Chain A
Amino acid sequence: MGEMSTKRTAATRSWTRTQSRLGRQQARPAILAGLCGCIASLLQAWCVALILAAGLSGAGQHRLLLEALAGFVAAALARAALQAAGEILASRAGIAARRRLRGEALQGMIQAGPALLRDRHSGAIAALLVDRIEAVDGFFARWLPSATLAMAAPALVLAVAWLVQPYAALVLFCCGLAVPVMQAVFGIGAAAASRRQFQALSRLQVTFVDRVRGIATLVLAGRTEDEAQRLAIAAAELRRRTMRVLRVAFLSSAGLDCALAVALVAIALHDGGRLLHAAVSPAPGSAPSLSVNRALFVLLLVPEFFAPLRSFALAYQDRMQAGACAEALAWLPQAASSAPPDSPARPVAVAGVTVTLQDVRYGWSEARGRVLDGLSFSAAPGETVLLSGPSGAGKSTVIELLLGFIEPQAGRILIDGIDLREMAPAQRAGMIGWIGQNPMLFAGSLRENILFGRPDADTAALQRALAVAALDDLVAALPDGLETRIGEGGYGVSGGQAQRVAIARAALHGAPLLLLDEPTAHLDPDTERSILASLRELARDRTVVMATHALEAQSLAGRRIELRPAEHAAPPEAADAIPPMPRPLPAMVEPQPAMANPLAATVDRGVV
């Protein structure tokens, strides 16, 4: 566990490093705009100080003052423009970064394929693609520019201050140095604690979302009030702990305030003292107005000096959010450099292909052992093979292997003599049509959903596909026909109709090999019968491999292959790998409940 979290932190850190490098290039224009703005504000401060000093002394050349006023206006306009430009450039940098990250994530997801869905809810995958990547905007748009500006801009201010008033520069330097020191003193412990707190807070939010989603279940169980109180207590407890953390964390912001106040007061008092001295006993030959001018200038520099440090501190939370995104992206397989090949190649043979499985072995996980242990069969062109057997016998596993979603751990799968692994994904997709238990209907029109099987199909092909799926009557009855919208998640479409859409899709796709995975598992008997009739129509002239339950198998003609669940769920190798246990004392040799279940036994050993 500890090792895993270290690995994760390391992955997060390397992700952050890579992204910082990529993002900093994009952030360069925004940083440049920030620096130019800083120079303009220095110029402005100089003009202001000049005019105020003249106002105080009552002297000063009118023409010079008007020039200073004009300079102030020009600098103000420049600053406004630079500030706006900086914001727009930062937004652009954030957009470029998100577009890049989302593109990478998309490619990774499509390459990883359905394997992702095994341990993640599709909602979580979509949330990664949308929300997690949106949340990373601040990292590129705010954090990266402000991290550079927090160093460069104060340095610039300091250099100018040094030229004008070395003492003030020294004060600013010391106070500025104190900021990171104080942040280190109060911040390091607080940062770790606040990261934990941040997690606790987001956990509470997740719990809240979860309880709201399940509100109907809670209401029916009569447990609303209990849950409401539990939520309130959890929130109160979290608040107490959060405040304890914040009490320390806010000390580092107080450090920034403190540094600013010290610098301001120190410079005001020191320069004030010198000016007072000069005013009361003027030294011969000195030019006091210039000195006032300089003193006011450095005083005006104090807020300028601390402003970039403040926005740096504000942008820190953007950095933390990026960490969360990095963790979420880390489990996504890295996209290979080559882009996935485009639309599938058209199938070559229409009359069916030969499918051969040679001694195929596959197990979903070591703990559960092999599902398929040396399966061999062959389906001739145009032949229908029905795979039957109880759940867990590996029917769906065979279909997934043929689809290429998973690869056999031993043995070979050949289509027309070519190893499935040697086929390009597009070639494979062109050979294979597939209908599963719950076909996915995409948001869009009925036409778009059917054309999913072959986007460039003509009207005649579409009509033929509708006829095969027995959808033509239904489409004719719909007021909008093929243009009927199908809502998010396929609303307004019954299970039978969805299955018909899938059949039409497969018919349009026209692949010579058809894989069917219990296509009528969730349908009532009447619908099932008519869907099976459509499937028989679709199966004509094609090679079909179908995972079936009893009723389906009875009504389809074909060769039946009975799969049996692997009797020994724990693979023999796994047992061998475990060192022999010291012989226990006779009294201890009791049949343990866990031993009755090989699965449990393996899990137990795995933990030890």
Chain B
Amino acid sequence: MKPLLPPLLAILRLWRPRFPALGAGILVSLVALASGLALLSLSGLRLAGSALGLLLASGLLLRGLGLGRVVLRYLERLMTHAATFQALADLRVWFFRRIAVSAAGGLGFRRTGDVLGRLVGDVEALDGLYLRLLVPLSGVLLTLPLLALVIGARSVSLALPVCLLFVAVALLLPWLAARASTRAGVPLAEAQSGLRVASLDLAAGLREIVAFGAGARIAEIVREREGRLLVAQHSLARNGAAAGAVSFLCGQAAVLLVLAAAIGFGLPRISGLAAVLSLFLLLACFESVSGLVRAGVLAGSMAQSARRVLEAGAATGPVAGPTPPVPQASMRPTPPADATLRLEDVGYRWSADRPPVFDGLSLAIPAGARVALLGPSGAGKSTLASLLLRVVAPQSGRITYGGVDVTGLDVAGLRRQIAWLSQSTHLFDDTIRANLLLAAPDADDAALWTALEQARIAEFVRSLPDQLDEWLGENGAGVSGGQGRRLALARTLLSPASVLILDEPCAGLDSDTERAFLSTLFEVAAGRTVILIAHRLTGVERLDRVWRLQQGRAVPAA
């Protein structure tokens, strides 16, 4: 079994800049806890003392403690929540930056959006680390010594078992719960992803399911997967209930010991006042840690989330050569003005156990040329774009831009020079305007409309109620697939890059529109290099060169 603590500690280390705020929250929570303990035990003492004719705690003290506790608890809630929000926001930004680095290294391109989405869930799951684990745990630093001192001063033989029981409730049981939940986490996660896969199949396959009348069959599969998840969850709930019952019984055993001592049954007798004080203090102390067993269950799953987040953040790409974490002008500030691209004897394979995609690929694309690369799916058309943009690096040969080896160029600068409309270009859950501005943050409306016209989508955008400010929705859910591709195309055309790589720009267009678009591409990209990637040509493109990708090489096509 993997250790619990290291990933959680690593997350805490990331929060180092927030230590003052987090620490202050803990400090206030400790003072609030102390006032609560004092209030309950002094109330009991006051009552018991009165019975003996003694005035042990003044009314003023009790009222002060009561007020103090209310105010301090309020402050504690405010401060610990504010600190949590800060820490979590930091973690999000950290994760985003790390993911960007690994995406720049090519990993993000092979990870599906859903995997990334689940990782985000892992980041959010860490919100309980401070509030529900660290804060109550640090309370133990106060309650355990207090119990030992207050009860130990009256009777050591009573204090010892009580403190052991307290340690069991505050530390041992939560730790065991954390271990158990880590173990149970694997089948639970499997059951969960099983249900998710079945549900995705159902949703994405609704057409097939209805057309083939398979509704009852597929629903049965979803129900069966659900059943498995529910069984796993219920066994987890049973374990949690058992752990909770044991924890409760430990607390009750401690109370029993104090009661036995109060009447001198099996333990050295303590005074009535000491018994009342011990009992009320003990009740308050056990109450303060009663939530920790549940937090332990949480800690197990948090440790797993933390591990996944750290692993995703730690991954760097297979790119040889410099990839600064934050793209900075560390190398050559700007790539050369001459936009000639040259691939010399390039060899590349995605991994050692797979056949090479390219084997001795050589190509020269002069600045301002219009070229096409043809080939069936899987011929490496998109891989070529990844190589040019230094998403991946060739295992042999070299790629030059303007006569300079791209490995010597600043990555960010290179990517400003080369714009890529890939098959998986993402439309963000934002306005059309914001999506377009991604390529050129300073572009004005006129430029946006021009790009939309060129991508043959302006008419559609004009028909929308909010036009450029229309919200696109998740994955461009507000528009059809073809419209989404054209918006992405408009974004690419808007970019000031001198090389445009267009991977199937006409997918989703009908043949007339496709022809119209391709014939205007010539004017659109005046002066820019255009690399068209397609599996066939329509015949209207005015191209300077056409290559066909075959067996890892580029063969000139007629």
Contacts and interface: CB of A to CB of B under 8 A. Distances in A.
A550 B511 contact: yes
B169 interface: no
A344 B43 CA distance: 74
Contacts of A275: 47, 50-51
Given A51-B259, A242-B85, A275-B50, A439 B109 contact: no
A106 B224 CA distance: 13
Given A80-B248, A80-B252, A110 B219 contact: yes
B431 interface: no
Given A219-B108, A222-B415, A275-B47, A56 B273 contact: yes
Interface residues of B, number: 150
B426 A246 contact: no
Contacts of A110: 202, 206, 209-210, 215, 218-219
A597 interface: yes
Given A224-B100, A440-B207, A603-B463, A51 B377 contact: no
B256 A69 contact: yes
Interface string B472-514: 0011010000000000000000010000000000010111110
B256 A72 contact: yes
B183 interface: no
A52 interface: yes
B321 interface: no
A228 B100 contact: yes
Given A91-B238, A116-B206, 4 more contacts: A51-B262, A95-B230, A126-B202, A269-B46
A212 B120 contact: yes
Interface in A322-363: 339-344
Given A83-B245, A212-B120, A217 B462 contact: no
B52 interface: yes
B276 interface: yes
B437 to A, nearest CB: 9
Given A83-B245, A254-B70, A109 B206 contact: yes
Interface string B66-97: 11011101100110011001101100110111
Interface residues of A, number: 162
Interface stretch (A377-385, A411-419, A519-527): A519-527
Nearest to A213: B113
A246 B81 contact: yes
Interface in A114-131: 114, 116-117, 119-126, 129-130
Interface string A282-300: 0000001001100110010
* Interface SS, B side: helix
Interface string A67-80: 00100110011011
B474 A206 contact: yes
A258 B92 CA distance: 36
A87 interface: yes
Closest 4 A/B residue pairs (Cβ) = A429-B213, A214-B426, A391-B510, A56-B272
A120 B262 contact: no
Contact of A443 (B77, B81, B197, B216): B197
A120 B207 contact: no
A494 B117 CA distance: 25
Interface in A11-56: 48, 51-56
Given A264-B39, A275-B47, A106 B100 contact: no
Contacts of B97: 224, 228
B289 interface: no
Contacts of A276: 50, 53, 55
Interface stretch (A144-152, A430-438, A461-469): A430-438
A258 B70 contact: yes
A279 interface: yes
Contact of B50 (A88, A258, A272, A403): A272
A243 interface: yes
Contacts of A254: 70-71, 73-74
